[in-house]
Amino acid sequence: MFFFKNCYNRSMKRKLLLLAAIISMSGLFAQKINTDAEPKLFQFKFKENDQSRILSTVTEDVYLNGRFNHTAVILNRISSIITEVDENGRGTAQAVFMTTENSAKAWNNKSYSWGEEYESVFTRDTNGKYEIEDIYFMPTVRDVPVFPDHEVKPGQGWSRQGYEAHDLRRTFGIEKPFQFPFDANYIYRGDVENEDGKILSLIEINYKMFFTTPDLSSSYNAVLDAPKITTGFSHQKIYWDNERGQIDNYSEDFKIQIETFSGDVIMFTGKAHAEVTEFHRSNTDENLKKITETVAELGLENIDVKKSDRGLTISIENIQFQPDSSLLMDSEKNKLVKIGEILKEFENDLLVTGHCAKRGTLKMQQQISEERATAVADYLAKLKIRNPNCIFTQGKGASDPVDTNQTEEGRARNRRVEITIMDK
């Protein structure tokens, strides 16, 4: 979710991140609902070492003091791995949350810059309730969905309390998540069949939000344009895979209104959807050897393949752009076509990182590294190597050299773009 000012960016984008943390999407559905389905016991089923990526896209209109301001497309990415499942079926997850955005006009066929990351560790029981320490601020929305202990038949509903946990460290210096509860109302509508013939259960969730930020301005250095009163609603449809014990797909309509301490009123209305991908680990000795051999067979020069913290990285050294620009030379486009065939062997997201030699100001170095990473990423998207929302970019300036900047040969190696097949 995009906000008119930075404090809104940080607080409310996390609100939608939380929603993405519990959902997935894998296809369109024939909406014929079987209301005669047998009663079901809904439970989460966790498996140790299950690794996945959840990607949600939010499209929203933003209004400031009653007037339309802009439309934004927000991408929320959560990667997680189940590290432990106890004897009661509770699963512990290690997760990394990231959010970024494009303007609506720049959305089509454009990659996304890599945003700020937040790590979290939490446990959920088979009903869906969280256990999470106060040191973690993600996810924001917790205990949604939560299922009853008994079977539910179509048309039957239930209510459970959920809660939100807000990060007020920057605005009020509160070092723990500030929590407030809400009542979520559920109803099991029946079963539907997806395009692959799989039977899924449709569950609708509705809840209203009302949150008053504590007035701590006398004790802390409060920001006047920080949210004072937050109200709104969420209407969600989740399609539950009872065999696998997890959500299969999710959609949401929402409206959120914020009154700030300075008196502005900001309103957000929009829709969200999300999808999940189970990754196969790329960072293996077998894949490293395979890609290295393929690079040699294709006759690609100035290419280094290596393991990294995030996955498996293909480094294109001395990458050539038109003079004083981020426009790729034709020779480099041909090289990317060949590298693209390698990348098609994997379904994982891609992170494209730009680097440059140590010349000019730090600002210039950062800008050129970002622009060149974006040029490579957008060309990969143009080649349909990945959907644009599965390709992310970042610039490192001259902060991470692989060689000396004192020689032309060294500077050429430092002018590189790295493409990482992401494992997390």
3-class secondary-structure state, position 396 = coil
How high is the pLDDT of residue 56? 84
3-class secondary-structure state, position 350 = strand
How high is the pLDDT of residue 324? 62
Tell me which H or E stretch contains 212.
strand 199-212
Buried b (16+ CB within 10 A) or exposed e, 346-369: bebbbbbbbbbbbeeeeeebbbbb
Q: Write down the H helix ranges in 24-139.
A: none
In this structure, are residues 69 and 60 in contact, taking their beta carbons and an 8 Å threshold? no
User: DSSP letter string over 233-258?
Assistant: EEEEEEEEETTTTEEEEEEEEEEEEE
Buried b (16+ CB within 10 A) or exposed e, 286-320: ebbeebeebbeeeebeebebeebebbbbbbbbebe
111 DSSP assignment: -
Q: Per residue in 257-299, pLDDT tens?
A: 989 888 899 999 999 888 777 777 888 999 999 999 999 999 9
Q: Which residues of the chain have pLDDT under 70?
A: 1-31, 102-109, 171-172, 215-225, 323-325
Phi, psi of 341 (to 5 degrees): -65, -30
Q: How far apart are CA 115 and CA 14, in angstroms?
A: 12
How high is the pLDDT of residue 216? 58
How high is the pLDDT of residue 179? 85
How high is the pLDDT of residue 172? 65
User: DSSP letter string over 276-331?
Assistant: EEEPPP--SHHHHHHHHHHHHHTT--SEEEEE-SSEEEEEEET--BSTTSSPBPHH
How high is the pLDDT of residue 171? 63
How high is the pLDDT of residue 344? 92
How many other C-beta atoms can be found within 10 angstroms of the C-beta atom of residue 402?
13
How long is the chain? 424
The pTM score is: 0.78
161: β partners: 183
Q: In sequence order, which residues have a C-beta less than 8 Å from that of residue 206 and are 6 or more positions away? A: 184, 185, 233, 234, 235, 236
Q: How far apart are CA 177 and CA 81, in angstroms?
A: 23
Q: Per residue in 179-199, pLDDT tens?
A: 889 999 999 999 999 888 889
